[in-house]
Structure 1
Amino acid sequence: MILELADIRIQAGKQTEFDAAIQRGLEQVISKAKGFQGYKVNKGIESPERYILTIFWDTLENHTVDFRESAAFQEWRAIVGPYFAAPPVVEHFSLLAKSA
């Protein structure tokens, strides 16, 4: 399993609107993608315009090829993109260790 971590910064004062948009995009678009396994969204406390989105994929290519090169990616960006203050920083991780 691959973990995608997206560090998202949104425009100030748009948190309530973005909260609804990101949940809609995840449920209506990303959750239907090939290799999708689940997600978590965390909101910043000290930095209320910062969100950390983690998505679990079967393979790296499920995100970088199957999803990113699909029409679904454009649909996702149309939902959440208008709120971005800057492009998200996205990285991928593999599991090294886990607690019970």
Structure 2
Amino acid sequence: MILEVADIRIRPGQQAAFDEAIERGLRTVAAHAEGMRGWKVNKGIESPERYILQIFWDTLEAHTVGFRQSPLFAQWRSIVGPFFAQPPVVEHFTLLAKSS
């Protein structure tokens, strides 16, 4: 399994609207992507315009090809993209260790 981590910064004062938009976008669009296994969104305390989105994928290609090159990605970006202060920083990770 691959973990996608997106560090998202939104425009100030847009938190409530973005909270609704990101959850709606994940549930109604991204969740339908082939190979997507789940997601988490954390919101900054010290930096309230910062969000960390974690999405779990079967493979790297499920995200980078299957989702990013599908019509679902355009739908997703149309929901969350208008809030971005800058493009999100996205990286992928493999699991090294975890607690029981």
Q: Does the residue aligned with 2:25 lie in a helix, a strand or coil?
A: helix
Q: Distance in 1 between matches of 2:4 and 2:60?
A: 8
Q: Secondary structure at the match of 1:12?
A: coil
Give the counterpart letter for 2:57 in structure 1. W
Distance 2:92 2:10 in 1: 21
Q: For 2:31 and 2:48, how far apart are their aligned partners in 1?
A: 25
Match of 1:86 in 2: 86
Report the AA paired with residue 48 of structure 2.
P
The count of aligned residue pairs is 100
The alignment's C-alpha RMSD in Å is: 0.3
Counterpart of 2:90 in 1: which secondary structure?
Answer: strand
AA aligned to 2:86 is A
Distance 2:30 2:2 in 1: 15
What's the TM-score once normalised by structure 1's chain length?
Answer: 0.99
Identity among equivalent positions (%) equals: 70
CA distance in 2, matches of 1:73, 1:45: 28
TM-score, L = length of structure 2: 0.99
Residue 26 of structure 1 aligns with which residue?
Answer: 26
CA distance in 1, matches of 2:34, 2:93: 18
Question: Partner of 1:7 in structure 2?
Answer: 7
**Stretches of 4+ aligned residues off by more than 3 angstroms:** none
Identify unmatched segments of 5+ residues in structure 2.
Answer: none
Unaligned runs of 5+ residues in structure 1 are none
